[in-house]
Amino acid sequence: MNKIKLSSQNMSNLRFKAVEEAFKKKAVPSQTPAQITSEYYGKYVFGKEQMTKYLSKETLKALLGVIDKGETLNRDLASHVAAGMKMWAIEKGATHYTHWFQPLTGGTAEKHDSFIEYSGAPGTCVIEEFSGKLLAQQEPDASSFPSGGIRNTFEARGYTAWDPSSPAFIVDDTLCIPTVFISYTGEALDYKTPLLKSLNALDKAATDVCRYFDPSVKKVYAFLGWEQEYFLVDEGLYATRPDLMLTGRTLMGHESAKNQQLEDHYFGSIPTRVQAYMKDVEFEGYKYGIPLKTRHNEVAPNQFELAPIYGEMNLSVDQNLLMMSLMKKIARRHGFRLLLHEKPFAGVNGSGKHNNWSLGTDTGVGLLTPGKTAEENLQFITFVVNVLSAVYKNNALLKAAIMTAPNAHRLGANEAPPAIISIFLGTQISSVLDKLESSTSEEAIVMDAKKGMRLGIATIPEVLLDNTDRNRTSPFAFTGNRFEFRAVGSSANCATSLIALNSILAAQLKEFKHTVDSKMAAGASKDKAIFAVLKEYIKESKAIRFDGNGYGDEWKKEAAQRGLDCETSVPVIYDAYTKPETINMFESVGVLSERELHARNEVKWETYTKKIQIEARVLGDLTMNHIIPVATKYQSALLDNVYKMFQVCGQEKATKLSVHNTSIIEEISERISIMKTKVDEMIEARKVANKIENERAKAIEYHDKVLPYFAEIRYQVDELEMIIDDELWTLPKYRELLFVR
Ligand code: ADP
Ligand code: MG
C-alpha cells in the first residue's frame, strides 16, 4: 500500500489517484429484493402469462398460432396485440417504444419513440397511441448502418419487422420489440433474419430425418445454452487507460509478476464487490425471464462467467444480447467497467462464449442424447454423424463464422481453442463410430445411460455416459447431450456462428435424406440404407475427428496434412463465405443469397480494417504522448544524477559509480528511437492501406502491413515499463487492472 500514498506527492499522476480510489471502494448494496425469484421472474416480458391477461381469447389463440406454428400475422391481429401490449407496457410505466434489432455492426440498435399522438388536429391534447402497424413494421432511417453496398444511401430505406417468436420487453421506460432488419429489396441487414431462416431450414430437414424413426414427429427445435465470459475493471483505472476506453483492450502493459499461474482464481471465492454486481445482474436478468443459473470466477484474475439454462435458440440469442447490454449498465452502478473484448490483456486468458448447441423434437426427444432403445440410438448416431460430416465439409466456414479482429488474439493462444476447427467426440462415441465403420451387418447399437454402450455382440467397455469425458482444447466438443462450440468470441452475437451451424446441418440432413431415400427406392431396407450411408460419412469425415491436444504444434502440422483449413489471416478466412460450394449450400437451404453473402463479407472486411486502424492510432498516440515523455523525464533525472556525480566525485570515481544509470540512459534513448521509427513507419503503412478502395484488399493490407507493428512497438513500451520509475508511469499497470477490485 506504500505506493498509494504517493498520490499526495504526485497529484498530477492520475494513476495513483485512481488506484487509491479503487482500493477505498466498498461493495455497492445489491438491489435484489427480499423476494423469492419466481415471484418477479419474467415481470418485464410480454410472455404467455401477460398475454393471457392482456389479450382476448381469440387474439391469444391466433398469436400463439403465429408463434408456435409459424402461421402468418395479419394486420388485424397485429392491431389487437398492439392494444394489449400497450396497455401492459403503460401499466408498467413505459412511455416509449422501440424496434430492437441486430445490425451487422454487432450489438443491438434501437430508436425510441414516445407513445404520444395528438388526439385530433395538431395542437389538440395528446393520447397514448400504439397501432398494429407500428408494432408490426417500421422504417428507421437506416443509412448509417452497414449493408455492404446492398443499400445505397440514396435508397436508405430499411425495414424493421416484428419477430413474434421473441417476446417484447420493457427496459427502463421503453417497450422493446424484437425485430428483423431488412433492406427495401428484402435482403437481410441483420443477424436475426438469417438466424430465423436457418432455424426454419433445420426444422424441416431434421423433421424429415426424424420421421425415419418416429413418424409422429412434427417439429424439431434447436437449443442454445451460452456461457458468457467477461472481465471487470475498476472504472477509475479504466478511465486512465485510453487504450481500454477506445479499443476495449490494453495495447501495452508488462505482464504482472503474478497473474494466473497459481490457478487460484478459477472457481475461487467471488470478491465482494463483484458478488454484489453479479447479484444485481441476476436480479435484472430474472425480471426479463432469463434463466440465469451459473456464476463463477474464470481462469484469469478479474475474469468471470455467467450462464443461463439453455433454451430455444432464437430467444436465447436475444437474451444473450439483452444480458450483454444490461451487464454493461449494471457495471457502472458498481463502479466497474465491463470488458467483453475477447482479449483485453495479453498473457492471461481471453474471453469466449461457448455455444452449447443441441436439437430436440416436439415429442420431447433430444436428438444428440443417447437413447435407451436401438431405434433411439440409431437416430442419435445418425445426427452425430451428420454433424461430423457437415462440420468436416464446412470447417473453413465455421472458422470464418467466429473469426473477428479481437477473437484472433484469443484463438490459437495457449488457452483457447486453436484456429483450426476439429471435433472432439470422446472415447465412447469414437469407439461406436469405429465399430460401425468396420461392421459388416447392421448390428443394433445399444447405448444406455446406465449400462454404457455396446454395439451388437461386440461389447465396448461399459463406461457410464456422462460429461466427464472432456477435452478443453477442442473448439467443437461433444459433451454428453450437445455439441459445445467453444471458439465463439465473448463479444459476438451468437447468431453469427449459429446461422452457419444450422445451415450446414440442414443442408447435410437434406443430402442424407436424399441418399437414404434413393437406396430405399432401389430396394434396401430402411435400416440397411441408413447404416450404409452413415458408414460412408464416417469414413469421409474422419479428418475432422481429433481427441488429442489442440494446443500442440504437432496438431497444426497434422491438421494441415489432413486437409483441414489452417489459414490464420482474418481477412482471408472470410473468403470461406463466398466459395461456390458455400454459396450453393446457403442458397439450397434458403438462408442467405449470393448477394447477401458478398455484402456481409464487405461489412466484415470494413469492420476489420476500422478496428485495426483505430488500434494503430491509439497505440501511436499513447507511445508518443504518454510513453516517450515519461521515458524522457526519467532519463533527464538520471542525466542530472550522473552530471552531479561527476561534479562531486571526479571523473574516475563518477564513471564507476554511474555505470548502472548510464546504461539505463542509453537503453532509454535506444528504445525511444526504435519506438519513434516504428510509429512513423506504421503511420506510413496506414497511409498506403487507406488508399486501397477494395475492402478485401484493404483489410489484407492492414493485416499484413499495419498489424505487425503492434507487437514491435509494444515490446519496447513493456521493456521501458520495467526500468522506469514506477512513480512516473502514468498508465495503470496490469497488476492494478487485474487485481484491484
Ligand atoms: P461448462 O462450463 O462445464 O461447459 P456450464 O454448466 O457452465 O458447463 O454450461 C453448460 C451450458 O450448457 C449451460 O448453459 C446449460 O444450460 C447448457 N446445456 C446443457 N444441456 C444442453 C443441451 N442439451 N442443449 C443445449 N445446451 C445445453
Ligand atoms: Mg462450456
Mean pLDDT in residue range 177-198: 92
Ligand closest in space to the Cα of 226: 1
CA of 257 to the centre of ligand 2 (A): 29
Instruction: Return the ∠ at Cα 36 (arms to 34 and 37), rounded to 5°.
Output: 115
Mean pLDDT in residue range 189-213: 96
Instruction: From the CA of 357, give the closest atom in ligand 1.
Output: 25
Instruction: Give domain status of residue 387, yes or no.
Output: no
Residue to probe by mutation, ligand 1, list 482, 484, 497, most atoms within 8 Å of CB = 482
Whether residue 461 has pLDDT greater than 50:
no
Phi, psi of 193 (to 5 degrees): -55, -55
Instruction: Give domain status of residue 49, yes or no.
Output: yes
262: helix, strand or coil = coil
> If residue 607 lies in a helix (H) or strand (E), which one and from where to where?
helix 594-622
> What predicted TM-score, i.e. pTM, was given to this entire model?
0.94
| Helix segments in 260-417, DSSP class H | 272-287, 313-333, 374-393, 395-402, 405-410
Percent of the chain with pLDDT over 90: 72
Residue to probe by mutation, ligand 1, list 310, 314, 502, most atoms within 8 Å of CB = 310
Instruction: From the CA of 360, give the closest atom in ligand 1.
Output: 23
Ligand closest in space to the Cα of 358: 1
Whether residue 329 has pLDDT greater than 80:
yes
- Confidence bin at 365 (pLDDT 50/70/90): very high
Residue closest by Cα to atom 11 of ligand 1: 225
CA of 281 to the centre of ligand 1 (A): 19
> If residue 478 lies in a helix (H) or strand (E), which one and from where to where?
strand 476-478
pLDDT at 157: 72
Whether residue 438 has pLDDT greater than 60:
yes
| Helix segments in 658-694, DSSP class H | 659-690
Mean pLDDT in residue range 613-628: 98
Q: What is the CATH number of the domain that holds 49?
A: 3.10.20.70
Domain finish residue from 189, 204, 232: 189
pLDDT at 460: 30
Region of poorest pLDDT, from 138-142, 213-217, 464-468, 710-714: 464-468
Q: What is the pLDDT of residues 497-540, one digit of tens each?
A: 999 999 999 999 999 999 999 999 999 999 889 989 999 999 99
pLDDT at 463: 33
State whether the Cα torsion 236-237-243-249 is positive or negative: negative
- For residue 655, give the DSSP letter: H
> Average pLDDT of the chain?
90
Instruction: From the CA of 310, give the closest atom in ligand 1.
Output: 16
pLDDT at 108: 92
Instruction: Give domain status of residue 85, yes or no.
Output: yes
The answer for residues whose C-beta is within 8 angstroms of residue 721's C-beta and 6 or more apart is 252, 253, 254, 729, 733
Residue positions counted in the chain: 741
Residue closest by Cα to atom 14 of ligand 1: 225
pLDDT at 484: 95
Residue closest by Cα to atom 13 of ligand 1: 225
CA of 483 to the centre of ligand 2 (A): 10
Pairing of strands 476-478, 423-424: parallel
Region of poorest pLDDT, from 238-252, 257-271, 480-494, 566-580: 257-271
Q: Are 386 and 515 in contact (CB under 8 A)?
A: no
The answer for residues whose C-beta is within 8 angstroms of residue 279's C-beta and 6 or more apart is 30, 32
- Confidence bin at 465 (pLDDT 50/70/90): low
- Helix, strand, coil fractions of the chain, as percent rounded to 5: 50, 15, 35
Instruction: From the CA of 354, give the closest atom in ligand 1.
Output: 4
- Confidence bin at 105 (pLDDT 50/70/90): confident
The phi-psi region of residue 69 (left if phi > 0; otherwise alpha if psi is between -120 and 50; otherwise beta) is: alpha
Mean pLDDT in residue range 392-408: 97
Instruction: Give domain status of residue 694, yes or no.
Output: yes
CA of 440 to the centre of ligand 1 (A): 37
Ligand closest in space to the Cα of 225: 1
CA of 585 to the centre of ligand 1 (A): 29
Domain finish residue from 189, 222, 254: 189
pLDDT at 639: 97
- Confidence bin at 137 (pLDDT 50/70/90): confident
Phi, psi of 103 (to 5 degrees): -70, 170
Q: Which residues span the domain enclosing 55?
A: 37-189
Q: Exposed (0-12), middle (13-18) or buried (19+): which is 48, by Cβ within 10 Å? A: middle
Whether residue 634 has pLDDT greater than 80:
yes
CA of 468 to the centre of ligand 1 (A): 13
How many Cβ atoms sit within 10 Å of the Cβ of residue 622? 22
CA of 486 to the centre of ligand 2 (A): 7
For the chain, the domain total comes to 2
CA of 425 to the centre of ligand 2 (A): 15
Instruction: Give domain status of residue 443, yes or no.
Output: no
- Confidence bin at 213 (pLDDT 50/70/90): very high
pLDDT at 71: 84
Residue closest by Cα to atom 1 of ligand 1: 227
Ligand closest in space to the Cα of 353: 2
pLDDT at 370: 84
Instruction: Give domain status of residue 679, yes or no.
Output: yes
Percent of the chain with pLDDT over 70: 91
CA of 484 to the centre of ligand 1 (A): 8
Instruction: Give domain status of residue 80, yes or no.
Output: yes
Query: Residues lining ligand 1, judged by CB closer than 6 Å?
Result: 223, 225, 227, 294, 307-310, 354, 356, 358, 366, 481-482
CA of 698 to the centre of ligand 2 (A): 36
Nearest to 654 by CA among 636, 672, 666, 641: 641
Higher-pLDDT residue of 10 and 310 is 310
The answer for residues whose C-beta is within 8 angstroms of residue 588's C-beta and 6 or more apart is 507, 510
Q: What is the pLDDT of residues 44-62, one digit of tens each?
A: 999 999 999 999 999 999 9
- Confidence bin at 151 (pLDDT 50/70/90): low
Residue closest by Cα to atom 24 of ligand 1: 358
Q: What is the pLDDT of residues 703-717, one digit of tens each?
A: 999 999 999 999 999
Cell of 267: 472457481
Domain finish residue from 166, 189, 212: 189
Q: What is the CATH number of the domain that holds 675?
A: 1.20.120.1560
Q: Are 488 and 494 in contact (CB under 8 A)?
A: yes
Region of poorest pLDDT, from 55-64, 93-102, 427-436, 702-711: 427-436
pLDDT at 500: 98
Instruction: Give domain status of residue 5, yes or no.
Output: no
Phi, psi of 183 (to 5 degrees): -85, 170
Residue closest by Cα to atom 17 of ligand 1: 225
| CA distance to 468, 482, 498, 500, 505, per residue, from 425 (Å) | 12, 11, 20, 20, 17
